[in-house]
């Protein structure tokens, strides 16, 4: 019995490893992009803080910018997954290729990781001292 499903188990393990690596790369990429974006707009953030912007407004601005990009990426990814379903259908065992629970779970997990990757640089942006930020340029 185990020999008959050994190939399927190996394919599942391989896809799981690739999925975890892709998830890690996506999280690192979003974090790096948001960190760079916050670094580039330090002067603007400092100016907003100096003019009286609330730190929550800065946090929501930075997180909102990142989550809009992440949402667009998730939408494109779901459409691409629907397009690639015929290729991947032979690797699936016990799951339908268009299972809404799987797609929903993936969107929730990726969305949560994107939110965390956007929140960390945004929190750092709210701790910017306006005087130092304005002196940078």
pLDDT, one tens digit per residue, over 101-131 is 888 998 999 999 999 999 999 898 888 787 8
Is the predicted pLDDT of residue 87 greater than 70, yes or no?
A: yes
DSSP E strand boundaries for 37-100:
none
pLDDT tens-digit readout, 20-69: 999 899 889 989 988 898 888 888 888 888 888 888 998 999 999 999 99
Q: Report phi then psi at 94, rounded to 5.
A: 85, 5
Model pTM?
A: 0.78
Sign of CA dihedral 83, 12, 72, 100: positive
If you ran DSSP here, which 8-state letter would residue 96 be given?
-
Q: Are 121 and 34 in contact (CB under 8 A)?
A: yes
Q: Are 61 and 47 in contact (CB under 8 A)?
A: no
Buried b (16+ CB within 10 A) or exposed e, 12-27: eeeeeeeeeeeeeebe
Q: Are 66 and 118 in contact (CB under 8 A)?
A: yes
């Amino acid at each position: 019995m185990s020999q008959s499903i050994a190939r399927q188990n190996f394919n599942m393990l391989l896809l799981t490893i690739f999925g975890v690596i892709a998830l890690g790369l996506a999280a690192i990429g979003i974090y790096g992009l948001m960190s760079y974006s916050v670094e580039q707009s330090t002067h603007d953030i400092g100016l907003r803080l100096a003019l009286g912007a609330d730190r929550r407004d800065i946090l929501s601005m930075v997180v909102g910018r990142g989550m809009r990009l992440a949402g667009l990426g998730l939408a494109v990814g779901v459409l691409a997954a629907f397009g690639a379903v015929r290729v991947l259908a032979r690797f699936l065992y016990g799951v339908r290729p268009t299972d809404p629970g799987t797609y929903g779970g993936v969107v929730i997990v990726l969305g949560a990781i994107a939110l965390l990757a956007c929140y960390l640089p945004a929190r750092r942006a709210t701790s910017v001292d306006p005087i130092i930020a304005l002196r940078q340029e």
